[in-house]
Amino acid sequence: MTNSSTAANQQDNGTEPAPESLDKVRDILFGGQMRAVEERLQGLESRLLQSQESLRTEFTKQLSAIEATVQREVQALTERLGEERVARTEELTTLGQTTGLADAELREAVLHQGQALSADIARLSERLSADLANSVLELRTEKASLTALATLFSDMASRLGGDNGEAAKSGTRG
């Protein structure tokens, strides 16, 4: 029997042909095309794997470059921040010293001015005390002169009164 009669007998028996025979038939009919497609798929897969690996390598390089750039920038900013901190500390120290010197100079100027004003007040007080003492002395001197004048006038009055009294006494006699 031939293959076609075997297939017909198997169908009459209710059994299906063996899968191996179908694979052979497919291999005969489509084998060349399948092998070509399979070779193309394998080539495509290998190219995809190469591209994937190439992309992965390129991505890793770019990521490393970005990471290095970020690290350099962070380090540069850290150094700059440190320099700024040092500069600000120096400026604050200088400002503190300048403020201290200005404060000391101001205190000294206020002290000198206070001393000068105290000296002026002392001189003015001395002058006013001397003027007051002179005025008191002058008043006492004038007061003493008034007493002397009063005594003088009293003596004159008594002399005048004494001359009139003598004349009055001599006029009654005479």
What digits encode the pLDDT tens for the residues 1-19?
A: 444 444 444 444 555 657 7
The length of the chain, given as a count of residues: 174
What tokens appear for 90 in the block? 């120096």
User: Has residue 47 got a pLDDT over 70?
Assistant: yes
Q: How far apart are CA 99 and CA 92, in angstroms?
A: 10
What digits encode the pLDDT tens for the residues 100-110?
A: 989 899 999 99
Q: How far apart are CA 84 and CA 77, in angstroms?
A: 10
What tokens appear for 58 in the block? 């390129």
**For the whole model, what pTM was predicted?**
0.40
With H, G, I as helix, E, B as strand and everything else as coil, classify residue 11.
Answer: helix
Average pLDDT, stretch 11-39? 75
Write out the DSSP string of 143-170.
HHHHHHHHHHHHHHHHHHHHHHHHHHHH
Let me know: does 22 contact 16? Beta carbons within 8 Å.
no
**Encoded amino acid at 110, one letter:** V
